[in-house]
C-alpha cells in the first residue's frame, strides 16, 4: 500500500474545519446569555442557574432523526428546510410533555463531507432554534465513507427542555367525555417517507399535480412545523398532547391514555389534504394503514376537558378541529 | 405499482416494536430515582430537583458518534462493545469540563433493522451508562433503506451532565510551568478508523499479530474507556483536561490553552503501544500525521500546577505519564 494520510482514506479533516468555520455565525446567532461556551469546547455549557427559581424543575429530553426525508431533501437540494424539520420535530416531542426548549445539539453524518451542504443544514437548524428561543450548544459532523451510501447523509438531533414537575403532561385525569382536538400539520412532517419515496420513485420532484396546486417537491418537503408558539399559552388548559409521528394516529394517541380509556376519532371531522389521497391512490395503500403511517393532515392532537374546549380553541390563532372524544374501553384509537 | 404497505417500502414497524421490547429491561436497569418516565413517552423525563441545592448549576451537553469503528464492529459482530464506545466517549467529552453525567440518549440508524442487533448495541449502552450512574432516558432507532449502505448502521449519542459554575474546567490560570500528565488509552478509542480500515482492508480481523499479542479484532475493537471514575476524585486539583479524540494531540490540547501558551510534549515520555507502530509502518503514515489522527496510547491529558503533580499522580490508581509542560508561545502543541 502506498503512503497514507487521512484524506486518502476518505476523511478530510480540513473539510470538517471549513464546515465549522462556515456555520459559526449561524450557530452563535442562537446563543442566549445562558450559553457559556459552545463551538470549540468539548461540551456545550448551559447556565442552569435560573432553574433554581423553579419549584421543582424536570428536564425533558428527546433524540430523533428525520427519516428518509433526508433523501428527498438531498435530491431537491433543500438543505435548510431539513434543518427546520429536525429542530421542530424535537420541539414538538418535548412540548407534548409541557416542556419549553432550552438547548439543542445536532448530528450530521455523510459519506463525503461538503462544507457548503453542512453549513446550509446547520443554517436551517440555527434558524429554527432561534425562532424557538432554543440555543444550539453542540453537535457533531462526521464523514463516514462506506457506512453511508454515496452522496447520502443522515441528520439527527437532541433537545433538552424544562417543565415544572406539577405541570408535566399528560395529566392523570384524562377520562371519558374529554374532547379530542386536532391541529393542522404542514405536510407528512418527517414520517412515512420510505413509503412516499417508493410510491413516487418514477415521478420527477418538479412535477406539478393539479390536485396539489404545487410541485411534488413543495408538497413533500414542506418543513415540519413547530407547535410551541401556538400551544405554549394554553398548556395549562390541556390534559394531554400527542405528536402524530411514526405510527400515526394508531400508535401515538394511546401513548397518553390511562388504562380503560379509548379514543374515538370521526373521519369526517376534518378534510384530509389532497396529498394523502394521492399517496393512497397511487400506492394502493389500505385506508387503515394510512392512519398508522401518516398524520393525515393533523400533526398534533390535544385532549381537553369539555368545559375548556371553546377557551382553548379561541386561544389558538388558527382553525382547529374537534376530531372526537375519549370513551371507556380498551386503550386504543378507533377511526370511523 | 402494486399494493404498498410500510413493510414493502423497506421499513418494518413491527421489527422496530420488537427491538423496543428486547431492550426494555436493559434500559430500565439504568434508571435512577430521578427518571420519571422513559420508554413509551415522547421525551425522557429527568427530575432536576436536586440541582436546586447546588450553588450555581451549569448543564454540560455533548453529541458524538463512533465514526467508522461501527463498520469493524459490524464485521466482527461485536455490537455490545460499540455501545460502550459511544457512552464512554460522551462521558469523557463532558468530563473535560468537570461535569458529572446525568443522562444519555442514543441514536441508532441502519439500512435494515435487525431487532437482536439493536438490542445488543443498546445492551452495551445500558451497561456503560449503569457503570457511570447515568440514566438512559431516551433514544431513537431508525430504519433507513437507501441512506445507509446495505447491512451498515450508524450510532450516535448525546449526554447531559452537570457541574458547579465555579468548578468548570479548564481554569483560566493555565500558565507556563504547569505540567502535562497523560493517562493511557484503551486503544484508538473511536478515532482514525477510516484510515485503520484502509490500511488493514486485506487483513482478516482474526489475524494474530505477534507484536500485538492478540487478534486484530481485539486490538482494534477494544472499547473506549471512561476516565470518569479515575479522575472524578482529583478534578479539583486539575487546571484542565483534553480528551484526545479526532485531531489527536495536535488539535485537542490547544482547545484548552489560553492565549500565548504552548504545550511541549516529549515523545520519549511514554511508550507508544505496538498497534500504532504497526499502523504507521503498514500504512506508511508520516510520523507527524500519526499525532494528528491518533491518541498514540494516551487518551486523556491533564494540565496540573507543578506543586500538585505528585498528589494527582498518587490519587490516580494506575501509572500516569509526565508528557511535558506548558511553555510560553503560540497556542499549539509541539512534539519532540
Please answer yes or no on whether A147 and B71 come within 8 Å at the CB atom.
Answer: yes
Q: Look at chain A and report how many structural domains it folds into.
A: 2
* Residues comprising chain B, all counted: 336
DSSP state of B318: S
Parent domain of B207: 179-335
- Tell whether A262 is covered by a domain: yes
Give yes or no for a contact between B163 and B51, defined as CB atoms under 8 angstroms apart: no
Give yes or no for a contact between A108 and A229, defined as CB atoms under 8 angstroms apart: no
pLDDT for the residue numbered B276:
97
- Tell whether A207 is covered by a domain: yes
CA B242 to chain centre: 12
Please answer yes or no on whether A4 and B148 come within 8 Å at the CB atom.
Answer: no
Using CA atoms, how far apart are residues B39 and A215, in angstroms rounded to an integer? 39
**B115 and B187 belong to one structural domain:** no
Please answer yes or no on whether B168 and A45 come within 8 Å at the CB atom.
Answer: yes
The 3-class SS string of chain A reads CCCCCCCCCCCCHHHHHHHHHHHHHHHHCCCCCCEEECCCCCCEEEECHHHHHCCCEEEEEEEEECCCHHHHHHHHCCHHHHHHHHHHHHHHHHHCCCCEEEEEEEEEEECCCCHHHHHHHHHHHHHHHHHHCCEEEEEEEEECECCECCCCEEEEEEEEEEEEHHHCCCCCCCCCCCEEEEEECCCCCCCCHHHHHHHCCCCCCCCEECCCCEEHHHHHHCCCCCCHHHHHHHHHHCCEEEECCCCHHHHHHHHHCCCCEEEEECHHHCCCCHHHHHHHHHHCCCHHHHHHHCCCCEEEEEEECHHHHHHHHHHCCCCCEEEEEEEECCCCEEEC
- Tell whether B172 is covered by a domain: no
Please answer yes or no on whether A149 and B145 come within 8 Å at the CB atom.
Answer: no
Give yes or no for a contact between B257 and B96, defined as CB atoms under 8 angstroms apart: no
By Cβ distance, the residue of A13, A140, A143 closest to B63 is: A140
Contacting residues for B206 by C-beta, under 8 A, at least 6 apart: B215, B216, B217
Using CA atoms, how far apart are residues B62 and B308, in angstroms rounded to an integer? 29
Please answer yes or no on whether A5 and B67 come within 8 Å at the CB atom.
Answer: no
Using CA atoms, how far apart are residues A22 and A19, in angstroms rounded to an integer? 5
- Tell whether B321 is covered by a domain: yes
How does pLDDT run along chain B (336 residues), one tens digit per residue?
334 455 556 667 677 778 888 888 999 999 999 999 755 577 899 999 999 999 999 999 999 999 999 999 999 999 999 999 999 999 999 999 999 999 999 999 999 999 999 999 999 999 999 999 999 999 999 988 888 888 889 999 999 999 999 999 999 999 999 999 999 999 999 999 989 999 999 999 999 999 999 999 999 999 999 999 999 999 999 999 999 998 899 999 999 999 999 999 999 999 999 999 999 999 999 999 999 999 999 999 999 999 999 999 999 999 999 999 999 999 999 999
pLDDT for the residue numbered B2:
36
Using CA atoms, how far apart are residues B19 and A275, in angstroms rounded to an integer? 31
By Cβ distance, the residue of B1, B52, B67 closest to A144 is: B67
pLDDT for the residue numbered A5:
55
- CATH number for A236: 3.90.650.10
**B123 and B203 belong to one structural domain:** no
Please answer yes or no on whether A59 and B46 come within 8 Å at the CB atom.
Answer: yes
For residue B214, list its beta bridge partners. Answer: B209
Among A117, A144, A167, give the residue marking a domain's end.
Answer: A167
Residues of chain A contacting residue B198, judged by C-beta atoms under 8 Å apart: 1, 4, 8-10
pLDDT for the residue numbered A27:
93
**Interface-testing mutation among A158, A168, A276, with chain B (most B C-beta atoms within 10 A):** A158
Locate cell 494506575: which residue? B318
**B20 and B163 belong to one structural domain:** yes
Q: Quote the ipTM score.
A: 0.93
pLDDT for the residue numbered B3:
43
Sign of CA dihedral B23, B25, B29, B32: positive
**B197 and B160 belong to one structural domain:** no
**A219 and A91 belong to one structural domain:** no
CA B174 to chain A, closest CA, distance in angstroms equals 16
How does pLDDT run along chain A (336 residues), one tens digit per residue?
334 455 556 667 677 778 888 888 999 999 999 999 755 577 899 999 999 999 999 999 999 999 999 999 999 999 999 999 999 999 999 999 999 999 999 999 999 989 999 999 999 999 999 999 999 999 999 988 888 888 889 999 999 999 999 999 999 999 999 999 999 999 999 999 989 999 999 999 999 999 999 999 999 999 999 999 999 999 999 999 999 998 899 999 999 999 999 999 999 999 999 999 999 999 999 999 999 999 999 999 999 999 999 999 999 999 999 999 999 999 999 999
**A220 and A101 belong to one structural domain:** no
- CATH number for A68: 3.30.1330.10
- Tell whether B55 is covered by a domain: yes
Task: Tell me which H or E stretch contains B72.
Answer: helix B69-75
DSSP state of B38: -
**A58 and A81 belong to one structural domain:** yes
For chain A, how big is the Rg over CA atoms in Å? 21
**A121 and A224 belong to one structural domain:** no
**A184 and A318 belong to one structural domain:** yes
By Cβ distance, the residue of B13, B44, B61 closest to A44 is: B61
Residues of chain A contacting residue B138, judged by C-beta atoms under 8 Å apart: 61-63
Q: Which SS3 state, helix, strand or coil, does residue B154 take?
A: strand
By Cβ distance, the residue of A6, A42, A139 closest to B243 is: A42
**B95 and B196 belong to one structural domain:** no
Please answer yes or no on whether A139 and B63 come within 8 Å at the CB atom.
Answer: yes
- Tell whether B59 is covered by a domain: yes
Q: How many Cβ atoms are within 10 Å of A5's Cβ, its own excluded?
A: 16
pLDDT for the residue numbered B21:
83
Please answer yes or no on whether B13 and A61 come within 8 Å at the CB atom.
Answer: no
By Cβ distance, the residue of B145, B149, B198 closest to A147 is: B149
**Interface-testing mutation among A2, A5, A9, A280, with chain B (most B C-beta atoms within 10 A):** A9
Give yes or no for a contact between A324 and A265, defined as CB atoms under 8 angstroms apart: yes
Question: Which of A223, A219, A221 has the alpha carbon at shortest distance from A71?
Answer: A221
**A63 and A123 belong to one structural domain:** yes
φ and ψ of A68, to 5 deg? -80, 10
Give yes or no for a contact between B256 and B240, defined as CB atoms under 8 angstroms apart: yes
- Over residues A26-80, the pLDDT tens digits come to 999 999 999 997 555 778 999 999 999 999 999 999 999 999 999 999 999 999 9
pLDDT for the residue numbered B149:
87
Residues of chain A contacting residue B101, judged by C-beta atoms under 8 Å apart: none
Distances (CA, A) of A97 to A282, B37, B42, B299: 37, 10, 8, 39
Using CA atoms, how far apart are residues B113 and A216, in angstroms rounded to an integer? 29
Among B167, B188, B220, give the residue marking a domain's end.
Answer: B167
* Cα-based angle A118, A63, A222 (whole degrees, multiple of 5): 55
Please answer yes or no on whether A63 and B160 come within 8 Å at the CB atom.
Answer: no
By Cβ distance, the residue of B45, B57, B62 closest to A138 is: B62
- Tell whether A110 is covered by a domain: yes
Q: Which SS3 state, helix, strand or coil, does residue B174 take?
A: coil
Please answer yes or no on whether A140 and B65 come within 8 Å at the CB atom.
Answer: yes
Please answer yes or no on whether A162 and B6 come within 8 Å at the CB atom.
Answer: no
Among B113, B136, B167, give the residue marking a domain's end.
Answer: B167
**A219 and A103 belong to one structural domain:** no
Distances (CA, A) of B187 to A60, A281, B228: 35, 55, 17
| E-state strands within B220-315 | 240-243, 261-265, 298-304
- Tell whether A162 is covered by a domain: yes
Residues of chain A contacting residue B165, judged by C-beta atoms under 8 Å apart: 36, 47, 49
**Strand-pair category, A321-328 with A261-265:** antiparallel
Give yes or no for a contact between B288 and B268, defined as CB atoms under 8 angstroms apart: no
Amino acid at each position: 500500500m502506498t503512503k497514507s494520510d487521512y484524506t486518502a482514506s476518505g476523511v478530510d479533516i480540513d473539510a470538517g474545519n471549513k464546515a465549522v468555520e462556515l456555520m459559526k455565525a449561524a450557530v452563535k446567532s442562537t446563543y442566549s446569555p445562558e450559553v457559556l461556551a459552545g463551538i470549540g469546547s468539548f461540551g456545550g455549557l448551559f447556565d442552569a442557574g435560573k432553574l433554581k427559581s423553579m419549584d421543582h424543575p424536570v428536564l425533558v429530553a428527546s433524540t430523533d432523526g428525520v427519516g428518509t426525508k433526508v433523501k428527498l431533501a438531498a435530491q431537491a437540494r433543500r438543505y435548510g428546510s431539513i434543518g427546520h424539520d429536525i429542530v421542530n420535530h424535537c420541539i414538538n416531542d418535548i412540548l407534548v410533555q409541557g416542556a419549553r426548549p432550552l438547548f439543542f445539539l445536532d448530528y450530521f453524518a455523510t459519506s463525503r463531507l461538503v462544507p457548503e451542504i453542512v453549513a446550509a443544514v446547520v443554517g436551517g437548524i440555527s434558524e429554527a432554534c432561534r425562532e424557538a428561543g432554543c440555543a444550539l450548544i453542540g453537535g457533531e459532523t462526521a464523514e463516514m465513507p462506506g457506512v453511508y451510501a454515496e452522496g447520502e447523509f443522515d441528520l439527527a438531533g437532541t433537545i433538552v427542555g424544562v417543565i415544572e414537575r406539577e405541570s408535566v403532561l399528560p395529566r392523570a385525569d384524562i377520562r371519558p367525555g374529554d374532547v379530542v382536538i386536532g391541529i393542522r400539520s404542514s405536510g407528512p412532517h418527517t414520517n412515512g417517507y420510505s413509503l412516499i419515496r417508493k410510491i413516487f420513485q418514477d415521478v420527477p420532484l418538479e412535477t406539478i399535480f393539479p390536485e396539489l396546486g404545487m410541485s411534488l417537491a413543495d408538497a413533500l418537503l414542506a418543513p415540519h412545523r413547530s407547535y410551541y408558539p401556538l400551544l405554549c399559552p394554553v398548556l395549562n388548559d390541556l390534559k394531554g398532547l400527542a405528536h402524530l409521528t411514526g405510527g400515526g394516529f394508531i400508535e401515538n394517541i394511546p401513548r397518553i391514555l390511562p388504562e380503560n380509556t379509548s379514543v374515538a376519532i370521526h373521519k369526517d371531522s376534518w378534510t384530509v389534504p389532497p396529498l394523502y389521497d394521492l399517496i393512497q391512490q397511487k400506492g394502493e395503500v389500505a385506508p387503515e394503514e394510512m392512519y398508522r403511517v401518516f398524520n393525515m393532515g393533523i400533526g398534533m392532537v390535544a385532549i381537553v376537558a369539555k368545559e375548556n374546549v371553546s377557551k382553548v380553541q379561541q386561544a389558538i390563532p388558527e382553525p382547529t378541529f374537534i376530531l372526537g372524544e375519549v370513551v371507556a374501553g380498551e386503550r386504543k384509537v378507533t377511526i370511523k
